């Protein structure tokens, strides 16, 4: 009786795992590889980041399996293996995510990870990834601390886009070029690592690139997910500075925009919104006209509107047809990381005589390499070849009534080597030292 | 200087009104039933979601603008009555008389379950319901722009507090309620239908919770997790004012609102710190809160 119950339980568990497409510890049979993909499926991060990221992942993996991705990725699968994604929820904080990471490696035997939205999660799982010797490609999380403090000699961890310092530096370049006569800048940023780092990098870069435009010491620091910004809007309205920097995202950004619009804030101040691209399509006509809009690179609205390559055209069309909305920056960034995995495994397999490569061989193939993402080229050119360098773009947002979509104009592009610290130098030292070694020609 | 003081006071009153509208339902329920109701965050979220959902349909069909305001109250009543009956009859009635910690844990469990239900019903996409705020426009006072919708929250908070005062002090039901608050067992012995009072009180508290969400919905992006933040703030206000004290909730909300606004204008880094600093100071010097009478300890 007891054995029968155990058998039934085993069958039940297996059925559940099969139903939900979970791979049961089969990391060596390479007709199939399993990629764990963490992203926010619940909570405040889901609408702006998690769901577009999940959609981009599903789209690119299905297309890879069918061989439908344009060249140079137009072969089926990854090094011949069909790809299965375990897309799971990144919510719950660092401790929970460390447990999730261990479970995916030790119980499910996944081949690798690709994803992670939050800088907090990346900071939490970096040491575990190295400990468990599991290839991990960070697609989106921005904190420079990953390779500057937490993992100075990375082996298993890579990041397939520029880190957050590039956002602040490229924005400062844009401001210096377009708003050189502004009388000053202030800011409103969420009071946690992302908001503080974003302000710090922008502020330090402005001191170098536009020293005549003075920064305020009375920037606003509401709690993340605060939702109500009445007093902050009053403080911004009475502040003397022309420019306002914000790295708000998700529901906070949307709530701030609704509350600011109702008080005429965006007509009185020039806003610089570093991740407004995540909300642009959802807000549509409610996106304030004239804001400087960022997408953490040439992703989302910049790619959809301005990049005319077969890869972007295919991705955009496939995404719109499938999900009924335009892809945003996380869709591109997650797809970019998956393409990085395909590039690395296939390069390693080719060097291995066509056989399935070891993790060490895949790492060797990706270190220092250059591969084509969906919207931009990715050069793994920092932190011993583990930190990606990608280009950036900034422009001014408005709503195009004919297209029925938000668009950007007055766009400037910035090369990765102009806006990222040189190899071996940490961001703050580089910024405080006058950004020496930046190649902006 | 005058402008700064005026701005701090106005911002503080608006934020305090928001806090009061959110916290008053929780206070009413605790005052009568001695239930620290964590599901209050869910009622806020469901009120916001239903208002934003119905509002979206309403404005998609280009129906008259004022309908958005009707929807706010309609959503509050629907959510309040439905969840009031469901949670009180389905959960709390089985827990009356049990240890208060168990009741808190049970409402916390219900809160988590309702978060999942909300996700199942509404999904992860945000809902927008900005039209009521946008249609009212704004006004300039002493050189500062304020939107009428947020100013109207002060009026709403005032109406709610007056209505509750009138209900408690001028109606039979209010007197019965006060009798139950004073001594549940004696009230029951005197023939008061305590079960009905509890259900009515819980529906009232639930409706106020849902009204707070529905009223705030036009100013925010309605998305998963909005109930979590609210419950922490509501709890802070209830503790500062005194558990179960409605005047305490009102004064506590205004106090927190004004001090927070002053911090935003003069020491922005401290804006969240001040809320919890006030709570800590009150707990040190008056553990029962500003307005709750010291509890008699039964030996």
How far is residue B272's CA from residue A237's CA, in Å, rounded to a whole number?
21
At B247-286, the pLDDT tens digits run 899 999 999 999 999 999 999 988 888 888 999 999 999 8
Three-state secondary-structure class, residue A76: coil
pLDDT at position A147 is 96
Q: What percent of chain B has pLDDT over 90?
A: 62
Three-state secondary-structure class, residue A322: helix
Q: Measured between beta carbons, which residues in chain B are less than 8 angstroms from residue A191? A: 269, 272
* Location of structure tokens 């407004």: A276
A289 is written with which tokens? 């006209």
- Mean pLDDT score of chain B, rounded to an integer? 90
At B132-189, the pLDDT tens digits run 998 999 999 988 999 999 999 999 999 999 999 899 889 998 888 888 888 888 888 9
At A390-401, the pLDDT tens digits run 999 999 999 999
CB contact under 8 A, B220 and A46: no
Cross-strand partners of A34: A84
Closest CA to B52 of B127, B114, B134: B127
A369 is written with which tokens? 């390499």
At A216-228, the pLDDT tens digits run 988 999 988 888 9
How far is residue A133's CA from residue B152's CA, in Å, rounded to a whole number?
58
Nearest to A263 among B18, B145, B260 (CB): B145
Q: What percent of chain A has pLDDT over 70?
A: 93
Nearest CA distance, B214 vs chain A (angstrom): 14
Q: Measured between beta carbons, which residues in chain A are less than 8 angstroms from residue B138? A: 262-264
Write down the ipTM of this complex: 0.90
pLDDT at position A20 is 38
pLDDT at position B296 is 56
At A351-374, the pLDDT tens digits run 999 999 999 999 999 999 999 999
Nearest to B220 among A227, A231, A238 (CB): A227
* Preceding peptide of A72 cis, ω within 30°: yes
Burial A66-96 (b: 16+ CB within 10 A, else e): eeebbeebeeebbbbbebbbbbbbbbeeeee
What domains appear along chain A, each with residue ranges and CATH number? 30-164+309-389 (3.40.50.2300), 165-295+391-432 (3.40.50.2300)
Q: Measured between beta carbons, which residues in chain B are less than 8 angstroms from residue A53? A: none
At A273-298, the pLDDT tens digits run 999 999 999 999 999 999 999 999 99
* Strands lying side by side in the sheet with A82-89: A82-89, A32-39, A112-115, A135-138, A157-159, A387-389, A377-382, A370-372
pLDDT at position B52 is 96
- Mean pLDDT score of chain A, rounded to an integer? 92
Q: A232: phi > 0 → left, psi -120 to 50 → alpha, else beta; which?
A: alpha
Cross-strand partners of A84: A34
Residue A16, Cβ density class (10 Å: 0-12 exposed, 13-18 middle, ≥19 buried): exposed
Which is higher by pLDDT, A100 or A92? A100
B204 is written with which tokens? 């009232």
How far is residue A144's CA from residue A357's CA, in Å, rounded to a whole number?
30
**DSSP letter assigned to residue B292:** S
Question: Across residues A174-190, what is the average pLDDT?
Answer: 96
Residue A28's CB is within 10 A of a number of other CB atoms, namely 8
Closest CA to B136 of A104, A40, A262: A262
**Residue A414's pLDDT band (boundaries 50, 70, 90)?**
very high
| pLDDT for residue A251 is more than 50 | yes
Nearest CA distance, A378 vs chain B (angstrom): 31
* Location of structure tokens 């199939």: A32
How far is residue B90's CA from residue B84's CA, in Å, rounded to a whole number?
10
Q: Measured between beta carbons, which residues in chain A are less than 8 angstroms from residue B237? A: none
| pLDDT for residue A2 is more than 60 | no
DSSP H or E stretch at residue A344: helix A329-351
At B3-49, the pLDDT tens digits run 889 999 999 999 999 999 999 999 989 888 888 899 999 999 999 99
How far is residue A410's CA from residue A396's CA, in Å, rounded to a whole number?
6
pLDDT at position B178 is 84
Cross-strand partners of A245: A187, A272
Three-state secondary-structure class, residue B251: helix
CATH 2.60.40 holds for B2-285: no
**Residue A23's pLDDT band (boundaries 50, 70, 90)?**
very low
Q: What percent of chain A has pLDDT over 90?
A: 86
Most confident listed range (A57-61, A280-284, B90-94, B182-186): A57-61
**Residue B293's pLDDT band (boundaries 50, 70, 90)?**
low
CB contact under 8 A, A262 and B149: yes
* Location of structure tokens 């992942």: A57
How far is residue A85's CA from residue B60's CA, in Å, rounded to a whole number?
37
Q: What are phi and psi of B141, to 5 degrees?
A: -125, 125
Which is higher by pLDDT, A108 or B245? A108
Three-state secondary-structure class, residue B282: helix
**Residue A12's pLDDT band (boundaries 50, 70, 90)?**
very low
How far is residue B185's CA from residue A120's CA, in Å, rounded to a whole number?
52
| pLDDT for residue A254 is more than 70 | yes
pLDDT at position B16 is 95
Q: Measured between beta carbons, which residues in chain B are less than 8 angstroms from residue A266? A: none
Contact at 8 Å (CB) between B287 and B45? Answer: no
């Amino acid at each position: 009786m007891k054995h029968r119950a155990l058998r039934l339980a085993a069958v039940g568990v297996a059925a559940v795992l099969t139903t939900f497409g979970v791979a049961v510890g089969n990391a060596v049979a390479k007709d199939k590889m399993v990629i764990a993909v963490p992203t926010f499926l619940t909570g405040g991060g889901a609408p702006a980041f998690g769901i577009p990221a999940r959609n981009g992942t599903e789209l690119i993996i299905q297309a890879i399996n069918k061989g439908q991705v344009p060249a140079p990725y137009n072969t089926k699968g990854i090094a011949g293996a069909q790809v299965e994604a375990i897309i799971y929820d990144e919510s719950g904080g660092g401790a929970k995510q460390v447990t999730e990471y261990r479970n995916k490696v030790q119980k499910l035997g996944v081949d690798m990870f690709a994803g992670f939205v939050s800088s907090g999660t990346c900071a939490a799982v970096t040491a575990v990834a190295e400990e468990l010797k599991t290839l991990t490609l960070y697609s989106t999380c921005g904190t420079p601390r990953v390779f500057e403090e937490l993992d100075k000699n990375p082996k298993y961890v890579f990041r397939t886009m520029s880190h957050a310092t590039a956002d602040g530096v490229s924005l400062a370049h844009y401001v210096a070029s377009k708003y050189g006569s502004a009388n000053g800048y202030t800011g409103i940023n969420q009071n946690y690592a992302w908001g503080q780092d974003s302000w710090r990098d922008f502020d330090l870069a402005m001191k170098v690139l536009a020293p005549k435009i003075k920064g305020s010491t009375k920037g606003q620091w509401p709690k993340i997910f605060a939702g109500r910004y009445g007093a902050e809007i009053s403080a911004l309205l009475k502040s003397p500075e022309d420019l306002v920097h914000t790295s708000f995202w998700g529901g906070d950004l949307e709530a701030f925009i609704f509350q600011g619009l109702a008080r005429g804030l965006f007509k009185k101040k020039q806003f610089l919104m570093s991740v407004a691209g995540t909300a642009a399509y959802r807000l549509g006509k409610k996106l304030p006209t004239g804001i400087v809009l960022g997408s953490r690179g040439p992703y989302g609205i910049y790619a959809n509107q301005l990049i005319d390559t077969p890869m972007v055209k295919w991705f955009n069309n496939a995404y719109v047809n499938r999900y009924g909305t335009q892809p945003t920056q996380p869709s591109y960034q997650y797809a970019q990381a998956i393409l990085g995995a395909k590039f690395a495994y296939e390069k390693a397999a080719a060097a291995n005589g066509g056989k399935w490569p070891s993790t060490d061989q895949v790492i060797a193939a990706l270190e220092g390499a250059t591969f084509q993402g969906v919207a931009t080229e990715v050069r793994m050119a920092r932190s011993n070849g583990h930190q990606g360098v990608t280009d950036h773009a900034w422009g001014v947002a408005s709503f195009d009534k004919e297209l029925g979509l938000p668009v950007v104009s007055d766009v400037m592009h910035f090369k990765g080597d102009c806006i990222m610290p040189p190899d071996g130098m940490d961001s703050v030292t580089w910024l405080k030292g006058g950004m020496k070694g930046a190649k902006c020609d | 200087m005058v402008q700064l003081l005026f701005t701090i006071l106005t911002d503080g009153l608006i934020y305090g009104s928001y806090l009061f509208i959110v916290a008053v339902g929780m206070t009413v329920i605790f005052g009568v039933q001695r239930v620290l109701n964590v599901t209050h965050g869910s009622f806020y979220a469901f009120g916001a979601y239903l208002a934003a959902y119905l509002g979206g349909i309403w404005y998609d069909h280009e129906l008259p603008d004022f309908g958005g305001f009707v929807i706010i109250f309609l959503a509050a009543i629907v959510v309040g009555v439905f969840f009031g009956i469901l949670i009180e009859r389905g959960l709390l009635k089985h827990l009356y008389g049990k240890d208060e910690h168990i009741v808190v844990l049970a409402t916390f469990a219900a809160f988590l379950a309702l978060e999942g239900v909300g996700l199942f019903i509404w999904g992860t996409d945000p809902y927008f319901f900005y039209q009521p705020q946008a249609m009212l426009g704004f006004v300039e006072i002493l050189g500062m722009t304020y939107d009428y919708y947020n100013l109207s929250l002060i009026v709403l908070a005032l109406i709610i507090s007056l209505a509750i005062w009138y209900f408690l002090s001028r109606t039979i039901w209010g007197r019965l309620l006060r009798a139950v608050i004073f001594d549940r067992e004696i009230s029951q012995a005197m023939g008061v239908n305590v079960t009905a009072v509890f259900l009515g009180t819980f529906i009232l508290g639930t409706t106020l919770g849902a009204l707070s969400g529905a009223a705030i919905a036009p100013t925010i992006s309605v998305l998963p997790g909005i109930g979590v933040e609210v419950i922490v703030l509501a709890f802070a206000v209830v503790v500062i004012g005194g558990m179960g004290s409605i005047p305490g909730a009102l004064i506590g909300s205004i106090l927190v609102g004004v001090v927070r606004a002053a911090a935003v204008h003069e020491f922005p880094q401290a804006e969240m710190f001040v809320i919890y600093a006030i709570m800590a100071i009150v707990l040190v010097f008056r553990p029962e809160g500003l307005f709750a009478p010291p509890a008699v300890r039964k030996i």
